[in-house]
Structure 1
Amino acid sequence: MNVSEPEHQELPELDGSVSPPVRKLRWKWGLGILLLGIAAIIYRWFQLAPDRTYQVFSVYSGTLYLLIGMLIWWMLISGVAWKMRFKGLLGTVLLFGLFFALFRVESFEGDMVPRFRFRFLPTSEQRAEQYFEQIENSAPAANVELTEQTLEVSPDDWPAFRGAERDGVVRDQTIRTDWKQNPPELLWKHPVGAGWGSFCVIGDRAFTQEQRGEQETVVCYDVLSGEQIWTHADPVRFSETLGGVGPRATPTFQDGLLFTMGGTGILNCLNAGTGERVWSHDLLKEGGLKNLEWGMAGSPLIWEDLVIVNQGIQKSESKAENQSLIAFDRLSGEKVWSGGTRKSSYSSPQFVVLNETSQVLVFHSKGLESFAPQDGTSLWFFPWTNQAGINAAQAIVVDDRSLFLGTGYGKGSTRLRINPSENSDAKVTQGWKSQSMKLKFNSAVQRDGFVFGLDEGVLTCLNLETGKRNWKRGRYGYGQILLVGSHLLILAEDGHIELVKADPEQYEQVAEFQAIEGQTWNHPALVRGKLFVRNSEEAACYELKPVSK
């Protein structure tokens, strides 16, 4: 048997060096991680997040996990040379560094989407400081002029948060609606200090609260010119990353006095004519309380001789006594009563009469509670809250025995029936409930059996009898609404204003214009045909009276 000799194989010549193995990019692993991460973000957006804020947060967390996964793939699995891996990592870090060297996070929108601005541009606070420096010398003369003036409220004034009835309804006023032919007339516009409160307007004076540097300031402006008349300052500053800078509440006027709540819990009673302090309380310091996460936001309520306000949060859960509300004599500032055991939130106390009983309603962190205004006794409580425990919208009185209540963060709305205690074992019973009308930090208005509001930024009409949604149209962000006759006046989050018919049958936009620039969460005020708007950057006043023919 012949055995063939093995085939001769030539060996490579050795030149003293060995060629490195060829590395191949394992791109399939990277693509798989990328697609899986994107799919997880989309799934969480549509299936797990109860509202837009949680959807945005799901994108943040999902993107973080995706970046971590891509980093692990690039550094440990990609298969490219180590030198290339470190170059890629360094390049990514430099790219992010360059972006944040050029841009800063100016603020966050209502759904927590960041707003970026070039770093070389001045901040809104810096622009406001430049404006204040220009007008600094004009204020003293105005103070002298006002020392003998006494302000009195009239039915046409706007003495409190969302108007005299605190319901966002403008009564006995007509405005022009043909804005294309007769656009709103700008009376004045200028920078203001940061803050999310609205205007209180009495006669020819408009009052609001602003953060000016390290001074929390109450400011009085002239209605027609927008000129500053007087200021009162407290050496405090509230600032929070997501919620921004400045006070959150709106001044309240009563009998020549102005009552203000600051972001850090300073309650002031001021002479509305001069700005001089009558009395003051630092609620958090005096009560041994801590601030709410996004600051004290409840506007003072006046009931007879009392000023009633929210309190802060107890530092220890075991001592949660008399923490919800506190009342002071509005003339002397002496404490009259405090009551409630539930954690405060961001709504304002409101006075209502239900079943012929005077009550003060407060939307706490856990639900809606009613108090006797005379002594602070709790009358009833209805749990209605969300995962975040954040309630900011105002309840709406539907009739003398029922209320509408809505909140955001995926919860929705409900109608409550308040029963006379002698006729029912349950003081509060629930009618319908709906996933619609998720009111975050904006309140709704009602007209002819229907409620209109911004459901996660989209204008929605809801039937108050059935709880069924009639329509949902138009995106306005987390803006605010007034009801003016048969129209809704909507101040959107981007500062533009729209006029929409308050029609339960269909959505119909009538007119629109850009009123102010910048992120706008503040409530508008309408007084004698003059529209007052502001945000944390600027304020303006527009004439909306019908044009005489």
Structure 2
Amino acid sequence: MNTSELEQQELSESDHSETPPLRKRKLRWKWGLGVLMVGIAAMIYQWFQLAPDRTYQVFSVYFGIRNLLIGLLIWWMLISGVAWKTRFKGLFGTVLFFVLFFSLLRVESFEGDMVPRFRFRFLPTPEQRAEQYFEQIENNAPAANVEVTEQTLEVSPGDWPAFRGAERDGVVRDQTIRTDWKQNPPELLWKHPVGAGWSSFCAIGDRAFTQEQRGAQETVVCYDAATGKQIWVYSDPVRFSETLGGVGPRATPTFHDGFLYTMGGTGILNCLNAGTGELVWSHDLLKDGDLKNLEWGMAGSPLIWEELVIVNQGLQKSGSKAEDQSLIAFDRLTGEKVWTGGTKKSSYSAPQFAVLNGTPQVLVFHSKGLEGFALADGTSLWFFPWTNQSGINAAQPIVVDDHSLFLGTGYGKGSARIRISPSVESDAQVTQDWKSQSMKLKFNSAVKWDGFVYGLDEGVLTCLNLETGKRNWKRGRYGYGQMLLVGSHLLILAEDGRVELVKADPEKYEQVAEFQAIEGQTWNHPALAGGKLFVRNSEEAACYDLSPVSK
């Protein structure tokens, strides 16, 4: 080997020895595991910190998952240590997964605690199914519809003229039902799709009234109570929609002396001829008062007292110097404004009539608490502060006796019993007997029976002693459903559409019977008239005969 060749070999070996070996990239998995464990631990901590309020707990999970995903993204892209090609492949795969997931599934709605309900996108939406049903009815008209005839409708014993009954307390009077559902199950009279909305039924004689959203039209609908056939429809060209609360009107029609009074989700107050559906008078409360809507829509059902119709108001717009007004009264025959009352923001509970210490008054559970107003001019008689962080009060107060009331609300607040003194002239005349963390009524109302109150405390049936505020028991999960008191039984329409009969027994929880009445998410209040149980949600409605079986 010559000198030149040796020099080249030495140079080659020198170059090779100076080239550092390539290091193999290692996944820094401990960092990723740390992010995952910290994220999960934070969610668990928040879950228990926010107990027992289910809504806040669920929202904390949403924020926790968001923060966890952000943390994992930062770890994967900046700290993981794998090749950049691998990092971008992982990022692309994750994005692709979420794209495919939401391409196949849609969020159909949210449950009462804000847990999403998914449904395949290729399946028709409830609104589409209802639209197809009503198109079929129109195509088959007039055979499918009942002829509209002028008739005088009057309230009789056993009718259901307003939201939660004549006294708005969810107590069924002048009616009995059969309770042996295994031997004599409820008889289905009719079932069919309906337009969206959280309205209940009012039922007078052979007619049942409710409110629905049908496409771009907000409607008041009259059905034949026995057959479910449509008699008449009145429409307003408005639509209320809110992501978490859903689509459609929230209030329930009120019947009085041949007229039907309705409050739409956008604040349209109508007076209709109950026999024909013809408009008598109307007010767009938000437009007339230059007000904005409530976040979840106008929900208070109209209250009739003598010659007045009394309803909640909307909210003052941002920057407005005017004070909020809690309620407004109109002449029920002419629609002329008679008075306005209150200075607190409206909420979602309906105005309610009561006589306390011999004084007739209207109760309004607005965003700041419970307040009593004089029926003659809307003057505030007394006020009891009872609110939550969200300023949402939706349950109806319960009159315990002629000088005390029960009220409950959700979002972690709970319930209380208050006492109104005979001289109701100032806030100082209102005293609190007790308060309890039990009976957190989010948007479902309770019922009173024999010294106890029964309600769904964050979806779980609870019995509370009205004298002491102590909880007797808490059993049975029904979601954010609604209930009635029938005799000594609780008739519960659960959030999943099943109906259960439970004894109103302070000693123990005892389920008597149950059946699946309708399908889908159900927040609507049930109604009972003439032994017929009317149930509905945003997808379908049904009527069952629960009349006692004659021997």
Tell me which residue corresponds to 1:4. Answer: none
Distance, in Å, in 2 between the alignment partners of 1:98 and 1:310 is 45
> How is 1:327-346 mapped onto 2 (pairs within 5 angstroms)?
327-346=329-348
Matched, 1:301 2:303: yes
SS in 1 for 2:382: strand
> How is 1:131-210 mapped onto 2 (pairs within 5 angstroms)?
131-137=133-139, 145-210=147-212
Tell me which residue corresponds to 1:495. Answer: 497
Contact 2:315 2:324 in 1 (8 A): no
Distance, in Å, in 1 between the alignment partners of 2:433 and 2:399 is 14
Query: How many matched pairs?
Result: 540
> How is 1:307-386 mapped onto 2 (pairs within 5 angstroms)?
307-316=309-318, 319-321=321-323, 323-386=325-388
Q: Deviations over 1:324-370 (max 9, x none)?
A: 11101000111111111100000000000000000100001010111
SS in 2 for 1:146: coil
> How is 1:118-517 mapped onto 2 (pairs within 5 angstroms)?
118-137=120-139, 145-316=147-318, 319-321=321-323, 323-421=325-423, 426-517=428-519
SS in 2 for 1:167: coil
Contact 1:249 1:263 in 2 (8 A): yes
Q: Deviations over 1:396-426 (max 9, x none)?
A: 0000000000000000000000002279982
Name whichever of 80-89 and 138-147 sits farther off. Answer: 138-147
SS in 2 for 1:133: helix
SS in 1 for 2:422: coil
The amino acid of 1:546's aligned partner reads P
The amino acid of 2:215's aligned partner reads G
SS in 1 for 2:428: coil
Distance, in Å, in 2 between the alignment partners of 1:138 and 1:275 is 21
Distance, in Å, in 2 between the alignment partners of 1:351 and 1:142 is 39
Tell me which residue corresponds to 2:58. Answer: 56
The amino acid of 1:518's aligned partner reads G
Distance, in Å, in 1 between the alignment partners of 2:515 and 2:149 is 39
Q: Deviations over 1:74-126 (max 9, x none)?
A: 11111111110000000000001000000000000000000000000000000
Identity of aligned residues (%): 84
Distance, in Å, in 1 between the alignment partners of 2:13 and 2:463 is 85
Distance, in Å, in 2 between the alignment partners of 1:308 and 1:97 is 49
Distance, in Å, in 1 between the alignment partners of 2:66 and 2:333 is 55
Distance, in Å, in 2 between the alignment partners of 1:257 and 1:138 is 29
Distance, in Å, in 1 between the alignment partners of 2:14 and 2:68 is 46
RMSD of equivalent CA atoms: 1.9
Contact 1:139 1:228 in 2 (8 A): no
Q: CA deviation at 1:172?
A: 2.4
Distance, in Å, in 2 between the alignment partners of 1:112 and 1:199 is 25
The amino acid of 2:62's aligned partner reads Y
The amino acid of 2:359's aligned partner reads T
Distance, in Å, in 2 between the alignment partners of 1:105 and 1:132 is 24
Q: CA deviation at 1:17?
A: 8.6
Contact 1:106 1:117 in 2 (8 A): yes
Q: Deviations over 1:144-185 (max 9, x none)?
A: 943321111112110000001110000122111111111111
Tell me which residue corresponds to 1:535. Answer: 537
Distance, in Å, in 1 between the alignment partners of 2:142 and 2:313 is 35
Distance, in Å, in 1 between the alignment partners of 2:376 and 2:46 is 49
Q: 1:33 to 1:203 in 2, by over 3 A?
A: same
Q: CA deviation at 1:53?
A: 0.2
Question: Normalized against structure 2, the TM-score is what?
Answer: 0.95
SS in 1 for 2:495: coil
Q: 1:31 to 1:378 in 2, by over 3 A?
A: same
Tell me which residue corresponds to 1:20. Answer: 22
The amino acid of 1:473's aligned partner reads R
Q: 1:184 to 1:372 in 2, by over 3 A?
A: same
The amino acid of 2:178's aligned partner reads R
Distance, in Å, in 2 between the alignment partners of 1:172 and 1:542 is 18
The amino acid of 1:290's aligned partner reads K
Q: CA deviation at 1:321?
A: 3.3
Q: CA deviation at 1:320?
A: 3.8
Distance, in Å, in 1 between the alignment partners of 2:515 and 2:499 is 5
SS in 1 for 2:435: strand
The amino acid of 1:406's aligned partner reads G
- Residue in structure 2 matching 1:113, options 108, 115, 124: 115
Matched, 1:526 2:491: no
The amino acid of 2:264's aligned partner reads G
Distance, in Å, in 1 between the alignment partners of 2:140 and 2:300 is 32
The amino acid of 2:99's aligned partner reads G
Q: CA deviation at 1:474?
A: 0.6
The amino acid of 2:368's aligned partner reads K
Distance, in Å, in 1 between the alignment partners of 2:77 and 2:428 is 63
Distance, in Å, in 2 between the alignment partners of 1:11 and 1:361 is 97
Q: 1:322 to 1:290 in 2, by over 3 A?
A: closer
Q: 1:101 to 1:17 in 2, by over 3 A?
A: farther
Q: 1:32 to 1:313 in 2, by over 3 A?
A: same
Q: Deviations over 1:470-524 (max 9, x none)?
A: 0000110000010000100000000001100000000000111100000000000
Distance, in Å, in 2 between the alignment partners of 1:393 and 1:359 is 18
SS in 1 for 2:136: helix
Q: Deviations over 1:215-261 (max 9, x none)?
A: 00000000110000000000000000000000000000001000000
Q: CA deviation at 1:140?
A: 6.2
The amino acid of 2:252's aligned partner reads T
Contact 2:161 2:256 in 1 (8 A): yes
Distance, in Å, in 1 between the alignment partners of 2:477 and 2:145 is 43
Q: 1:284 to 1:36 in 2, by over 3 A?
A: same
Q: Deviations over 1:273-303 (max 9, x none)?
A: 0000000000000000000001000000000
Distance, in Å, in 2 between the alignment partners of 1:354 and 1:279 is 33
Contact 2:144 2:229 in 1 (8 A): no
Tell me which residue corresponds to 2:8. Answer: none
SS in 2 for 1:127: helix
SS in 2 for 1:436: coil
Name whichever of 479-488 and 170-179 sits farther off. Answer: 170-179
Contact 2:145 2:230 in 1 (8 A): no
SS in 2 for 1:59: helix
Distance, in Å, in 2 between the alignment partners of 1:328 and 1:117 is 44
The amino acid of 1:196's aligned partner reads W
The amino acid of 1:340's aligned partner reads G
Distance, in Å, in 2 between the alignment partners of 1:268 and 1:424 is 35
